[in-house]
Structure formats: C-alpha cells, structure tokens
Structure 1
Amino acid sequence: MMSDAIRAVILGIIEGVTEFLPVSSTGHLLLAQRFFGLGDGSFWQSFAVLIQLGAILAIVVIYFAKLWNIALGMFSNPEDRRFVIGVLVAFLPAAVIGALAGGLIKSYLFNPWVVCFSLIVGGAILLWVDQLDHKPHEYDATKFPLPMYLAIGFAQCLAMIPGVSRSGASIVAAMLLGAEKRAAAEFSFFLAIPTMVGAFAYDLYKNRGEMTSDHLGVIAIGFVVSFVTAIIVVKTFLSYVTRHGFTLFAWWRVIVGTLGLIALAMGR
C-alpha cells in the first residue's frame, strides 16, 4: 500500500510541474487525488493548497534580485511603486471573489468532470490564441498599464473553476491585451505570489485544527518537492514558450482531459 510520504512526493512533483504551466495544477491534483483514492478528505484538499507555497517560493528565489530591488525602490522609485500597485490591483478581484464565493465554488465545482471539461475547453482556447497574429506592444511585465493589470486580475478569477489554470487565464488575457509571450508568462509568475500566499494563509488558518505532527511532515515533503520541481520547470518554460508558444500545453490539456473523461465514463 502506498504510504502518505510517497503520495506527498508524487503530488509535490505534479504541483511543481503544473503550477506555472497553463495546464491547471488544481485540476491535475484533483485528478491525481481521485486516482490515489484520497476522495474528498479535507486534509488532502488542504495539502494541495498548502504545497503551492513551495512552488511560489521557487519564483521568489528565481526573481529574488528583481523583487528585492523593487521592494527597496517602491518608496522612492515611481516605476517600482507603480508595479507594486499594479500587482495589488490585479490580485484584488481574486481576493474579493475568493472571499465571497470560495466555499460555494469548492462545494459545486471541485469534481473531476468539471476538471476534465475545463482542461479540454482551455486547451482549445490556448490553441486559438497561439495561432493569432499577435502584434505585441508590451514587452516588460513590470510596465503594463494599470487597466491592463486589472483586466488580467479579473481573467485570473476564471481559474477558480478547477481545470481552467490560473497561469493560463492570466497569460491568455495578457497576450490578448498586447503583451509579448514571455512578458505575459512572467507577469503570471509575479501575480501568483500574492494570490497563492493569500490562498495558503486562508487555508492554513481554516484547517489549523487538523494539522497534526504527522500532517505537517507530509506537507513538508510535498512543499520541498514542489519547490525543487518548480525551479526547474520555470527556467525551462520561459525559454521554451518564447521559441515555441503554447501549442504543446494546449494539446497536453486536451489529452489529459479526454483521458480523464474516458476513465470517469468507465467508472474509474
């Protein structure tokens, strides 16, 4: 029988690989949990949220110099201050909608059928966007117009539907609004920091009574694995998407969603 530690390693790898790719980490984790027979246990649902902080820490490490300079300059440099405000503006819609409707969304939409359909539809949208004749005019994720940051923030809210993909929604929105592919991807990374830290803090507080010493050990394993995996994936993803676009990830979504629907139809 598979131990919780091995499950934590596998789920940590899935989280690290999928968090910043436009393929939906939440969707993949929900499907993996069903495959492992973890059901709707509240601990494993919380585990999926809590280990996301490991992937977010990877972004902080990779962009530490840039983030540190922005933090130091936001009180004296107007451009740095404007970017911080832009990230907060983009984060605001998810914070408000998540606080008001998070419980309802988890109750009604967190099921594998929704995940599979969302993966397929999202894959089709990615294929469409990747084939458009883009004429980008925004090449620096730290210098988007403020209304563009807000629009990306609203688009990110679609990812509250499992299988949509937070990074996918924000990247597609940024590209449709004129961002170059690499800049769109980088801003999705930056926006992930407050979004996922907020989700982590909320879930940890809500489920603090369930966090036994055994649970903390399992979470620590998933956290470390997702951190290491995410560092490798982010560095590879940026160079790949700049050269090749998002077609690979679109077909990844369609294939996983289709296989998931077949498995569900067969009662697996």
Structure 2
Amino acid sequence: MQDIIHAIILGIVEGLTEFLPVSSTGHLILAGDLLGFDGEAEKTFMIVIQLGAVMAVLLLYWKRYIAMLRDMVKLDFKKKKLNVIHMFLAMFPALIVYLLCNDYIKRVLFGPGPVLISLVAGGILLIIAARAKRKVTAEETDDLSYKQALGIGLFQCLALWPGFSRSGSTISGGLLLGTSQKAAADFTFMISVPVMMGATVLDMYASRDALVSDDLVLFLVGFIAAFVVAMLAVVTFLNLIKRLRLEWFAAYRFVIAILFYVFVMA
C-alpha cells in the first residue's frame, strides 16, 4: 500500500512539473529520494509516468499531429509549415545519445547529487538564453527551419541528464537559435509526445528483466495520477511558460537545489 501512495505522490509531482522548465525527472528523483522510492524498477517508473503527463499534450495538439501525418502520407512537405521532418530532426540526436549512453545515465546520473548540479546548470542556461541578443526568425512553429529544428534537437540531448529539463533545454536552444519563446515552447511540447513514447518503450524493454508484475500496477497508478493532474494543469502551465520570463524558473531551480542540499544532503 505504501508503494501505491508513493506512486500517486510521484504521479502528482510529475503532472505538476512536466510542463515547466524545472525538470520533472529531477523533481521525481529528489522526491523519490525523500520517500525512499529508489531502485532499478523505480528509475523506469519515473520515465513511464512522464508519458502519462505528456499524453495531455497529445489531446491538446491532436489536430496538428493529424495534419502532419496527412502531409506525410501525401509527401507534402511545405517549406513554411511544420512537418514530420522537423519532428524527426528534433528527436534524432537525443535518440542516438540515449541508445549509446542509457546505461551510464541510469547508473551515474539518476541520483540527488547529479540532479542538484544539473538544476543549477540548467538554470544558468535559461538565464543565458533569456538574455541573449538574437534576431527572431521564427515567431510561430510553422516558421521553424530544418536547421533550427536540428539545433533544438541537439539541445534536447542535455535533458538526458536528469535535472536539466527537456523543456528548459529545448526552449533555451530555440531562443538561442532565433525562435520566439512561444514558438520554442509549442515545438517543445509537440515533440514531447513521440520522444516520451519512444523513451518509455525502449526503457521498459531494456529493464524487462528487472520488472515484476507488481511493478506494472505501480506504473499504471503513477501513469494515471500524472495524466489526471497534467490534464488539469496543462493549459495554464503551457500559457505560463510562453509568457513568463525564464529567469523566474531559473531562480526556482536554484532555490530548490539549495534547500535540498542544505536540509537533506548536508
């Protein structure tokens, strides 16, 4: 019963943090450490429940996904329109790094210490991106070039270090590459669905020998909790990330890192 309660708590944490550039994975690792919820299966659990949260994005952007699939079937890749090539270019770099480094990431970086370091480093990146002088060439997602999509994909590789934040890394990358904050945020959340679907499938397959039937119950409970909370929060939080200055999220990351270090690790 205690594990079920922990799964619900972590699902709520995931649903509340997935759409903000504060690192949902980092929060899950820190919360899991406080709850004593750790181990190989728990690391996979933290990836699976992220899919629950991003499914809320699927419901929000489903018309865009359908339109891109139709264009793909018709081989209609218009220059001034977001299409599956943009999506592939943004996902491919992180997929390669994930396949090459997944064991190292889960063995070394899934811990409170590395997360605190990446929370601070990711916050610094947010500040740099927010204050960088750049010419905006993509006000909307349909204005994104293939080069910008690939560049955002390279920044997304940073998010494989828990605590960096996938949305924080990709939005920062977008700003540095000349997109508006709105376009960067929209594109970030659109690529989150296929990225997390792929990550969940790959991680569950890689961890199949360490999983037992009881784990599947926990995964389902956490998945549902994350999905429900994310559905309640998604529109508000997506609007927030498009409008609020990134320095505020950076400050929050610094505060969380300091408090956890002082009161838990010191």
Q: TM-score, normalised by structure 1?
A: 0.91
Identity %: 38
Aligned counterpart, 1:166 = 166
Cα offsets for 1:111-138 (capped at 9, x unmatched): 2111112112222332343344554220
Q: Quick one: which amino acid aligns to residue 66 of structure 1? A: R
* Counterpart residue number, 1:3: 2
Distance in 2, matches of 1:160 and 1:171, equals: 15
Asked whether the 8 Å contact 1:83–1:143 carries over to 2, the reply is no
Aligned to 2:63: 65
Q: State the one-letter code of the partner of 1:45.
A: K
> For this pair of structures, how many residues does the alignment match?
264
Contact 1:138 1:178 (C-alpha < 8 Å) held by counterparts = yes
Q: CA–CA distance in 2 between the matches of 1:252 and 1:121?
A: 13
Residues 6 and 37, structure 2, Cα contact 8 Å, conserved in 1 = no
Distance 1:212 1:60, change over 3 A: same
Letter in 1 for 2:115: V
Matches of 2:23 and 2:242, distance apart in 1: 20
Q: Which amino acid aligns with 1:75?
A: V
> Which whole-Å CA distance do the structure 2 matches of 1:168 and 1:84 have between them?
22
| Partner of residue 54, structure 1 | 52
What's the counterpart of residue 250 of structure 2?
250
Q: Secondary structure at the match of 2:169?
A: helix
Kindly indicate whether the alpha-carbon contact (under 8 Å) linking 1:124 and 1:254 is maintained by their aligned counterparts in 2: no
**How far apart in 2 are the matches of 1:63 and 1:137?**
23
Distance of aligned partners of 1:248 and 1:179 in 2 relative to their CA distance in 1, 3 Å threshold = same
Q: Which residue of 2 aligns with 1:26?
A: 25
Contact 2:130 2:175 in 1 (8 A): no
Letter of the structure 2 residue corresponding to residue 65 of structure 1: K
**Which consecutive residues of structure 2, in runs of 5 or more, have no partner in the other structure?**
none
SS of structure 2 residue aligned to 1:79:
coil
The alignment partner of 2:137 has SS state of: coil
Q: Is the 8 A contact 2:43 2:110 kept in 1?
A: no
Q: Displacement of 1:238 after TM fit? A: 2.7
Partner of 2:104: 104
Asked whether the 8 Å contact 1:113–1:264 carries over to 2, the reply is no
State the partner residue of 2:153.
153
CA distance in 2: counterparts of 1:232 and 1:251, whole angstroms: 25
SS of match in other structure, 1:137: coil
- Residues 45-80 of structure 1: per-residue CA shift (max 9 Å, x gap): 111011111112111111112211221222223239
8 Å Cα contact 2:23-2:163 kept in structure 1? yes
Unaligned runs of 5+ in 1: none
Shift in alpha-carbon separation, 1:242–1:194, aligned structure 2, 3 A: closer
Specify the alignment match of 1:36 in structure 2. 35
Q: C-alpha separation between the residues in 2 aligned to 1:48 and 1:34?
A: 12
Report the counterpart of residue 175 of structure 1 in structure 2: 175
Checking the alignment, whether the CA contact within 8 Å between 1:11 and 1:29 is kept in structure 2 is yes
Post-superposition offset of 1:252: 1.4
In 2: Cα distance, 1:235 partner to 1:252 partner = 21
Report the AA paired with residue 165 of structure 1: S
Q: Are residues 164 and 247 of structure 1, via their aligned partners in 2, closer, same or farther at CA, if it must alter by over 3 Å?
A: same
Q: Distance in 1 between matches of 2:220 and 2:246?
A: 32
Q: For each residue in 1:216-247, what CA deviation from the matched residue of structure 2 results, as whole angstroms up to 9, or x when unmatched?
A: 22211111111122233331123223332223
TM-score by length of 2: 0.92
Alignment match, 2:120: 120
SS of 2:73's equivalent in the other structure is coil
Query: Closer, same or farther in 2 for the Cα pair 1:252/1:36, shift >3 Å?
Result: same
> Which residue is 1:197 aligned to?
197
Distance in 2, Cα, partners of 1:19 & 1:240: 13
